[in-house]
Amino acid sequence: MAQVTVSGVAGPGTPRTLACAALEPGLDGVLLFDAAPAALSLAAGLLAKLMGEPRVVTLAAYQSEDDLWTSLRLRTSGFEPGPGPLVQGEGTAELLVVVPDLARVGLPGQRALITLLDAPVAVLERHGYHRAWAPRLRCLAACDTAEVGTVPPHLLDRFPVRATAAGLTGRSDSLSRVLHVWGTAPESAAPSGTGAVPQEWLDAARRARPWPAFGSRAAALIVGMVPADRPRRMLAAARLARGYAALDGAEQVEERHVEEAARLLGFGRTGGRDTPAPARPDDGTASRPDDEGAREGVDRPPAPDAGADAGRAAGAAAGETAGTAAQPLAVQAPQAAIAFGAEETPLPPGTGYPEDEAEPLREIAPLRAPPVAAVGPARRRGPPIGLEPATDLADLAMVATLREAAKFQRVRQANTGTTGRFLINPADLRTHRRQQEPEHLLGLVLDHTCRRGWDWTVALTSHLRWAYVHRAGVVVVDVGAGDAAAELRAERFTARRVLDRRVTASLSRPRGRATPLAHGLSLAHAGLRHAMQHGRAAVSRAWLVVVTDALGNVPLAAGLQDTTAGSWSGEGVTDAVAIARELATLRRLRIVVAAPPDPPHPELVLGLADALGAGLLGIGGADADVAEAGHGH
């Protein structure tokens, strides 16, 4: 068997945390930061093994509420309705819900998690069903630290247990997977020795021992280290500490268990990153960091993207990240790539709950089903997120329509005296409720070399607000950014909405030396044309805001080829004007130029604006455009 490797920030800490989640009923939501799919798969495998034989359900971006809560099977006798995968009945197995990417799970999935996690009772009232039950589940979700700002805080609060799984994978994992696919050599790939889940963990998870007592000293410690406005975190820390005590076989929760819980959750009485790792979890000799360091740990703001970097590295090594995983995740047997009982490394202090500091990049009321706002072609183009009664014959949801009609078949056939014909009434027709595709588009060309201390966000506010109000897609072109990969080339990205952290980041990139304005405008032209004219594009109205002083000093050819060969003399400006004229020909596109106060050559700005057919911000004359944008034109 290949060498078992566990590397990264908290590999071995994560198994122990997962073991606690398996044995503590209140720890039903575990969030793994920056977990590559392979790591999440291994973690899910371990949790499944510790839980016994749970039914595994994967939540993805595409599931509807009906997919999750109900089922409809076609039998020879007709349709047979039944409960969906998230519903539990008497005597059914525990559930293990795996969420490959919490930031991208669909709204129905998010709402389902709100319903099920940390809830003594769940209630289902759908399509004739009434069911109330006590959920018995664990949910293991992955999330990129950098994406935390996009997840509703109400949902994040349902995951009080945090860990990072960066590095929870190894070569042996890949090998065993390949061998498994080939159906060969299970013996050679089989786990052995250190890879097996410790028997005491399994005993603890199966409640083969009494619950450790939780005394007043432990309670006081927990209360002292968790802010009062975070009650779920307080309970999570206490349950985790009790779990650690159970894994250790202790009769009561001791201070070291509380400290271990606090440390692995990234808060509490621990020191900084240099805190020595505690001893093996099963030898009962965890180190005791000093109190001074503990307070430091509580108060310190999260280290920016420490976990994210590790996660990205791990994701890159694995070839993909959880953020891009759309397929249901395979739950792998854990033994191959997890070394139990090795040294632990906790979450860095203060990083367990990055949402406390993250910039909120989400809609207002993100857990509410969006209204059907679109009236144009976009209404029929987004991915389905639900169903509604149809008012016309466009975009019918056939299965839902048949299901609705199936309910009444016997009655209708009896009433009409027909047999063998499936009768559908207009009232049965169902149509897809679709996620709204952007009907509006905002293009931003940001010339970073013109900024020189100018706060351009003021000039952009109206258009950014317009983009938010209309849920517009965004095409951003960065020109002359100091951190650009190639300084002679502009860079472009497309965001689904203005609340994308890349848009925010673009607004404050550093200044570079070169100004490839012509290349930037050509990228904007191509990007806007693609968004407005390609395929089933639904954009009906677009704004382009060009923020520049028009001092382009890189010819288009140099930008395209990323070369400084040849001599230049004003080609950067003339190329930009030429491309501006092409941009001006795009239909349904309104353009505005925002120039810094007192540009060095106002005539160049005017010339560029003239070529673009654009209004001007900052040099007067475009107030009407701004007002129009600001009022949701």
Q: Scan residues 188-217 and list those touching other proteins (CB under 8 A).
A: 207, 210-211, 214, 216
Question: What are residue 478's DSSP bridge partners?
Answer: 446, 491
Q: For residues 246 and 589, which CB has a smaller minimum distance to other proteins in the complex? A: 246
Q: Which of the residues 295 through 324 are near other proteins (CB under 8 A)?
A: none
Q: Which of 220, 317, 458, 505 binds other proteins (CB under 8 A)?
A: 220
Shortest separation between residue 594's beta carbon and other proteins, angstroms: 32
Dihedral angle computed from the Cα positions of residues 479, 484, 489 and 492, in that order, rounded to the nearest 10 degrees: -60
Shortest separation between residue 201's beta carbon and other proteins, angstroms: 18
d(CA 611, CA 609): 5
Q: For residues 153 and 621, which CB has a smaller minimum distance to other proteins in the complex? A: 153
Interaction of residue 78 with other proteins, rule CB under 8 A: yes
Shortest separation between residue 154's beta carbon and other proteins, angstroms: 5
Q: For residues 88 and 351, which CB has a smaller minimum distance to other proteins in the complex? A: 88
Interaction of residue 399 with other proteins, rule CB under 8 A: no
Q: Which of 279, 408, 562, 578 binds other proteins (CB under 8 A)?
A: 408
d(CA 41, CA 240): 22
Q: For residues 67 and 478, which CB has a smaller minimum distance to other proteins in the complex? A: 67
Q: For residues 224 and 328, which CB has a smaller minimum distance to other proteins in the complex? A: 224
Q: Which of 63, 88, 145, 169 binds other proteins (CB under 8 A)?
A: 88
Q: Which of the residues 458 through 477 are near other proteins (CB under 8 A)?
A: none
Shortest separation between residue 157's beta carbon and other proteins, angstroms: 4
Q: For residues 246 and 583, which CB has a smaller minimum distance to other proteins in the complex? A: 246
Residues 6 or more apart from 439 whose CB is under 8 A from it?
Answer: 374, 376, 377, 378, 470, 538, 539, 540, 541
Q: Which of 183, 193, 229, 534 binds other proteins (CB under 8 A)?
A: 229
Shortest separation between residue 220's beta carbon and other proteins, angstroms: 6
Binding window for other proteins (CB under 8 A); candidates: 143-151, 407-415, 441-449, 594-602: 407-415
d(CA 279, CA 269): 17
Q: Which of 317, 365, 373, 394 binds other proteins (CB under 8 A)?
A: 365
Record the tokens describing residue 183, joined without a space.
């159906």
Binding window for other proteins (CB under 8 A); candidates: 233-241, 258-266, 522-530, 574-582: 233-241
Q: Which of 59, 222, 240, 286 binds other proteins (CB under 8 A)?
A: 222
- Quickly list H helices, 196-305: 199-205, 216-225, 231-248, 255-264, 291-299
Binding window for other proteins (CB under 8 A); candidates: 147-155, 349-357, 585-593, 609-617: 147-155
Helix (H) or strand (E) holding 590: strand 589-594
Record the tokens describing residue 399, joined without a space.
């299965």
Helix (H) or strand (E) holding 201: helix 199-205
Contact by Cβ (8 Å): 340, 9: no
d(CA 466, CA 629): 6
Q: How many helices (H) and strands (E) does the chain have?
A: 22, 17
Q: For residues 118 and 549, which CB has a smaller minimum distance to other proteins in the complex? A: 118
Q: Which of the residues 156 through 195 are near other proteins (CB under 8 A)?
A: 157
Shortest separation between residue 238's beta carbon and other proteins, angstroms: 5
Q: Which of the residues 323 through 362 are near other proteins (CB under 8 A)?
A: none
Q: Which of 53, 62, 154, 319 binds other proteins (CB under 8 A)?
A: 154
- In terms of residues, how long is the chain? 633
Q: For residues 229 and 274, which CB has a smaller minimum distance to other proteins in the complex? A: 229
Q: Which of the residues 589 through 628 are near other proteins (CB under 8 A)?
A: none
Binding window for other proteins (CB under 8 A); candidates: 98-106, 187-195, 363-371, 590-598: 363-371
Q: Which of the residues 16 through 55 are near other proteins (CB under 8 A)?
A: 24-26
Record the tokens describing residue 291, joined without a space.
């109190």
Longest dimension (CA), the chain: 88
Q: Is 61 helix (H, G, I), strand (E, B) or coil?
A: coil
Shortest separation between residue 289's beta carbon and other proteins, angstroms: 22
Q: In 10 A of CB 303, how many CB atoms? A: 17
Interaction of residue 224 with other proteins, rule CB under 8 A: yes
Binding window for other proteins (CB under 8 A); candidates: 237-245, 344-352, 443-451, 521-529: 237-245
Q: Which of 185, 369, 399, 505 binds other proteins (CB under 8 A)?
A: 369
Burial of 181-202, coded b for 16+ CB within 10 Å and e otherwise, reads: eeeeeeeebebeeebebbebbb
Record the tokens describing residue 461, joined without a space.
């506010």
Q: For residues 185 and 220, which CB has a smaller minimum distance to other proteins in the complex? A: 220
Q: Which of 34, 65, 549, 625 binds other proteins (CB under 8 A)?
A: 65
Shortest separation between residue 122's beta carbon and other proteins, angstroms: 8
Q: In 10 A of CB 388, how many CB atoms? A: 13
Q: For residues 69 and 267, which CB has a smaller minimum distance to other proteins in the complex? A: 69
Interaction of residue 74 with other proteins, rule CB under 8 A: no
The dihedrals phi and psi of 493, each to the nearest 5 degrees, come to -145, 160
State how far the alpha carbon of 158 is from the alpha carbons of 68, 89, 115, 151, in Å: 19, 23, 10, 12
Q: In 10 A of CB 147, how many CB atoms? A: 21
Q: For residues 4 and 225, which CB has a smaller minimum distance to other proteins in the complex? A: 225
Q: Which of the residues 412 through 441 are near other proteins (CB under 8 A)?
A: 413-414, 427
Classify strands 384-389 and 70-75 as parallel, antiparallel or unpaired: unpaired
Helix (H) or strand (E) holding 234: helix 231-248
Sign of CA dihedral 15, 20, 22, 26: negative
Binding window for other proteins (CB under 8 A); candidates: 49-57, 283-291, 411-419, 541-549: 411-419
Q: Which of the residues 106 through 145 are near other proteins (CB under 8 A)?
A: 111-112, 114-115, 118-134, 136
Q: For residues 221 and 445, which CB has a smaller minimum distance to other proteins in the complex? A: 221
Q: Render 89-158 in DSSP notation, one character per residue.
A: -TTPPPEEEEES-TTTS-HHHHHHHHHHTT-S-EEEEETTEEEEE---EEEEEEE-GGGGGGS-HHHHTT
Helix (H) or strand (E) holding 81: strand 78-83
Interaction of residue 89 with other proteins, rule CB under 8 A: yes
Q: For residues 389 and 632, which CB has a smaller minimum distance to other proteins in the complex? A: 389
Q: For residues 121 and 624, which CB has a smaller minimum distance to other proteins in the complex? A: 121
Shortest separation between residue 89's beta carbon and other proteins, angstroms: 4
Q: In 10 A of CB 390, how many CB atoms? A: 19
Question: To which residue do tokens 């900084």 refer?
Answer: 272
Q: In 10 A of CB 454, how many CB atoms? A: 17
Binding window for other proteins (CB under 8 A); candidates: 86-94, 285-293, 442-450, 608-616: 86-94
